[in-house]
Amino acid sequence: MSKPKLLDQVRAIARLKHLSLKTEQAYVNYIRRFILFHEKRHPAEMGADEVRQFLTHLAVERQVAASTQNVALNALLFLYRDVLEIALPLIDGVVRAKLPKRLPVVFTRAEVEAILSQMTGTHFLIANLLYGAGLRLMDALRLRVKDIDFETNVITVRAGKGEKDRVTMLPVTLKLALLEHLRRVWRLHQQDLRNGYGEAELPYALTRKYPKAGKAWGWQFVFPATKISLDPRSGQRRRHHLYANGPQRSLKLAQERAGVVKHGSCHTLRHSFATHLLEDGYDVRTIQELLGHADVRTTQIYTHVLNRGGRGVRSPLDHN
């Protein structure tokens, strides 16, 4: 039996380590570009020098963002460490892409209200969860029915960024709308079952451990896709969760209709959640836990947002 091609090995190891499909695709992309940059030499024949040259090329000639260069570095470290099982020496001397020091964009409360008033349906519910519970967009889209506790008003985010679980609040004002939404999802699920579908994708190896769990109501996505589609990994036809581009487009359109000119996005609603909690007097540690930040310094950037524009400082032009 022939050995799988290198990029197929990368995909297999990525799935073994439960990397997201998006991360897997990004890693494959940068590993392919690395090989092409070095004229199709096999990575096993190369090492730290070639990695350094490629990363410097991305920063100097391609002028990529710092985050993009970091993804490329992580992809190559994954290739050597996990796929080829080759220990690379310290990769120093890389020309680093500049990391911009920017404060997050934050909507005011009036802007949030204006934007949400321009949204309807499922995308309205999703946007309310981003702002009302501090969820990332993918946190919301990957929610399962069992992750929402309507009695205790708690949402559990499973395997969020960094593969971490966390809990946050369920906004009380959303409960009735969410319950009505889930009644419609339940009817859709029953229809899928009658049509021979209705099995949700399960994380890790739960399908083998609990063969029937995928069809259970609790494991269904809160925000299912409108159509049955082909799972790119398993090859099965099933109903996945909504794609991110739908809510993203809806928010952009709502922002335009509301006349909000800030360069905002779905993630801006999460930034607004944190900033407005700080304005309400909640401490940084509490907000850190709700957001799922590993380091409190990440959360503290919102304290700088509160202080921008000279708030609390009197302009000399206003001196009497």
Residue 302 known to be catalytic: yes
Residue 270 known to be catalytic: yes
Identify the active-site residue in 33, 161, 240, 252: 161
Identify the active-site residue in 30, 80, 131, 302: 302
**Helix runs in the chain, H state only:** 6-16, 21-37, 48-60, 66-78, 109-116, 121-133, 137-141, 175-194, 206-209, 245-258, 266-279, 284-291, 296-299, 301-307
Q: Which of 308, 310, 302 is nearest to 279 (CA)?
A: 302
Residue 136 known to be catalytic: yes
Residue 197 known to be catalytic: no
Residue 154, helix vs strand vs coil: strand
Identify the active-site residue in 33, 52, 181, 267: 267
Q: Please, is 130 exposed, middle or buried when counting C-beta atoms within 10 Å of its C-beta (0-12, 13-18, 19+)? A: buried
Identify the active-site residue in 136, 189, 238, 271: 136
Residue 80 known to be catalytic: no
Identify the active-site residue in 144, 241, 270, 271: 270
121-133 vs 175-194: helix axis angle to the nearest 10?
130
The DSSP string of 219-253 is: GSBSSB-SS-EE-TTT--EE--BPPTHHHHHHHHH
Interatomic CA distance for residues 269 and 14, integer angstroms? 31
By annotation, the residues acting in catalysis are 136, 161, 267, 270, 293, 302
